[in-house]
Amino acid sequence: MKRLSIVIIGSLNMDMVVRTSRAPNAGETLFGQGFALSPGGKGANQAAAAARLGADVQMIGRVGRDTFGSELLEVMRKEHINTEHIGQSETQTTGVASIVVDGEGENRIIVVPGANIEMGPADIAALEPVISQAEIVVMQLETDLAMCVHAAAVAHRHGIPVILNPAPARELDDEFLQHVTYLTPNETEAGILAGIAVNSVAEAEQAAHILLQKGVQNVIVTLGSKGALIVNKEGSLHIPGFPVQAVDTVAAGDSFNGALAWQLTQGKTLAEAARFANAVGALAVGKQGAIPSLPYLPEVEQFLQDAAGR
């Protein structure tokens, strides 16, 4: 069988994005400056991020048999993503995310997972032939946790590297983490997983070491504009970010993960992959929307060339 580049197991949502100068307080009503429907979901975002860079991507997920589901399937096909294993639920609606973006580009998100949580371990068992042919498997936590645990175990059994983007953050069993090759939390998620407060790069490194002790092979803590911190048995390495004016941070982490996966399948070192992924994230936050904000390879190459010349 042909070995697939990247298999992404995850969520597909329709994002309902409201733009306002600031987020409302409890009981307060504000006027917004704009509204948009935008295809998203962490799984779909990461799949599109990798595909736009040139990766061969297969998406495993589920949508509803409704208008949003049909739109998301069409978007995935337009991004040249293999949709053969995106199912359509007969009972659940397509997942949605309500997103408030403030004047600083920061976002607050509520996700209603819908069909995303319908997939379980039995579905993964049926798809083991697909997972076993991946070069790398990418997952997030907007889907059923038992399904994610089983998928990581299947990939591990076949010697397939696993990237886990632990978002939304929740506590995870050590057995699950022992099957994770690359864990990519942000600072908040790293703190929740490690059980400590993370408010600095030093505390992020401390949290990463705790996660290594739980069995993760490599921890890459994303630090927003400060870049990323790689921690593994070889030591710690801070990969600086790229200073840009943020317009919308909705897909920042997803663009990083999709780019990281693609770079690793291209034989790049983890440090090289993280630097490239930082550039992709910087470009993504400069545009509005989730999938619409994701850059193509020539944009990233030009951005890195310009950054090297400064």
Catalytic residues: 254
223 marked as binding residue: yes
Distance, in Å, from the CA atom of 150 to the CA atom of 3, rounded to the nearest integer, reads 21
44 marked as binding residue: yes
- Please give the backbone phi and psi of residue 103, each rounded to the nearest 5 degrees, phi first: -65, -20
241 marked as binding residue: no
13 marked as binding residue: yes
215 marked as binding residue: no
139 marked as binding residue: no
227 marked as binding residue: yes
254 marked as binding residue: yes
- Please give the backbone phi and psi of residue 14, each rounded to the nearest 5 degrees, phi first: -100, 120
284 marked as binding residue: yes
Greatest Cα-to-Cα distance within the chain, rounded to the nearest angstrom: 57
43 marked as binding residue: yes
What strands, in cross-sheet order, belong to the sheet with 95-101? 34-40, 13-19, 95-101, 107-112
83 marked as binding residue: no
The number of CA neighbours under 13 Å toward the Cβ of 170 is 13
Q: How many other C-beta atoms can be found within 10 angstroms of the C-beta atom of residue 107?
A: 19
β-pair type (218-222, 228-232): antiparallel
115 marked as binding residue: no
Radius of gyration of the chain (CA): 18
If you write DSSP's letter for every residue of 100-130 in order, what string do you get? EE-TTS-EEEEEE-GGGGG--HHHHHHTHHH
15 marked as binding residue: yes
71 marked as binding residue: no
- Please give the backbone phi and psi of residue 220, each rounded to the nearest 5 degrees, phi first: -120, 100
Distance, in Å, from the CA atom of 87 to the CA atom of 119, rounded to the nearest integer, reads 9
Which residues make up each annotated binding site? 13-15, 41-45, 142, 186, 222-227, 248, 250, 253-254, 278, 284, 287, 289, 293
Which residues make up each annotated binding site for K(+)? 248, 250, 284, 287, 289, 293
Which residues make up each annotated binding site for substrate? 13-15, 41-45, 142, 254
Which residues make up each annotated binding site for ATP? 186, 222-227, 253-254, 278
